[in-house]
Chain A
Amino acid sequence: MAFDSGLAVLVLGVAVWTIAARDTFAAVVGFVAYGLLLALAWVRLAAPDVALTEAAIGSGVTGGLLIGASTRLRRTETAAAGEEPGPTLRLAAAVLCGLVSAGLAAIVLMLPEPAPTLAPQAAANIAATGLGNPVTAVLMAYRAIDTLLETVVLLLALVGVWSLAPDRVWGGFPGPRHHADPDGVLTFIAQLLVPLGILVGIHIFWVGSVAPGGEFQGATILAAMWILAMMAGLVDAPPVSRRWLRLLLIAGPAVFFAIGLAGFAMAGAFLAYPVEYAKLLIVTIEIPVTLSIAATLALLVAGPPERAPHR
């Protein structure tokens, strides 16, 4: 309990810092710390699957994305300083936000007893999926349509990002070209970490069927390693018009959707799996989904095309 109180105070402390820091870069550093502390909180709340996701996405990849943006926008900081709202507006905002917090806190204190739960249903039906991890079972079986739509949402976000490219570079390379310095430290780090990271990513994905982990966490690590290789200049980002890239991006949702449709024939409903093949089908979906998510996340971080394609 003392540990939890201390952790909660720390989380609130870095949150206040993230809001109050003068310098945007300092605020981003606070946000990375926030994600990491939340990952610890998720372990304490007996949600290791969420802890893995938070450590990978909430802190890691989002942190990398925000840092890139904050260093690019550095010069605009002073210009924005004059546009801060006056004391009256700040006070009104503080009162409003205090009320929102108080309302939510009251709800937390008044949550029904005993708490409603779907855990017994999940436990009763997990055998039908052949999986050992209830969270993966929920993601891939009972709420599979959510997960299918989520992969589509990621693609839509990527289409949104790409659509911001100026016409002359449409279909070109995302982000600046980084050049590898053969003796550089960054090159060395990338050469060292990328293979290890790919291994860890596959491990996290693979254990997801029986233990905490799964396609989102594994895919995020793979994405981070691809971005690291791009930053170090070991590989260039592919032009977004490449056919193999487009195929890679839609492979996951397409296979997911196809097996979902096959569910009508095999088990009488969309995304229903026949019991004897459930695990095989789920893994068949998960492998392309992992690769597609990894590619989508990496390209979301890489941003819209900035350099015209070679012709």
Chain B
Amino acid sequence: MSKVILTLKRHISAPVHLDTLTPDRVCGRKVTELANEEVWEGNRRIKIKTLFNIEGNIADKPDDIALEIIGDLSRTRSIGYKMTAGTLNIRGTGGLYIGESMSGGNIIVEGDAGSWLGSNMRGGTIEVSGKTGNFVGAASRGTTKGMMGGIITLKGNAGNEVGAWMNSGTIRILGNSEMAPGIHMTGGTIHISGDCSGRAGAQMKGGKIIISGNMQAPLPSFSFEEIREQTKNEKDSVRGPFYVFSGDNNEDGNGKLFINVERNSQLKWYEKFLEG
């Protein structure tokens, strides 16, 4: 196992694209080679060493590499792009598109992360300790397949449209979610431990959304089915009880929406549909 630590040594004032910083792309190289590699800062090509102090050594196999990037990276883009193996640890504030299109390996963000985290993700795991922006595990503009595999765990709150066009895989949000998680989703599972601002599963065709916290109301295009004591998120079971809705009927959807019973007394009236 080899560890490479990149520590940001100056303020970033323009978008910096770090899509080449993944274990698979740096493996087998000397640290000096990596240091002299060029990336975009705004419209300029700059050497990585002008941004970061680099220490450690680089193994030959991606799986053996642990990349650690430290600093305020909020103006960076695409760290972990198309990553296939190894681990990548971001300490500080992560930027946009962390782990976009990744298919393997692990990314850990110790801090906040920007929007489009894990967009088009195919496999691997991403974990964020702080809060995350919008479009987690979403699809790129115009496409209809977002996250297609892997596991994303957000320990803090998440923004809007988590899992937009999600096709498979798992997203866990331990905090709250803003509007429209699982919009257009066709498969996979989203579990929100906290509250959701609304519109969960908007235009969803398939897949499963579990809300253990509060959500004012499901969309009018969802129909109430039953109350269930518990459900599953992948293997591990999630305790309810839950109001179970199916939808989005507007898309002939057979997605499932689970909303915690105890935390949502305002939905009690749905129980009238249970009689008879």
A and B bound? no
Footprint of B on A, CB under 8 Å? none
Footprint of A on B, CB under 8 Å? none
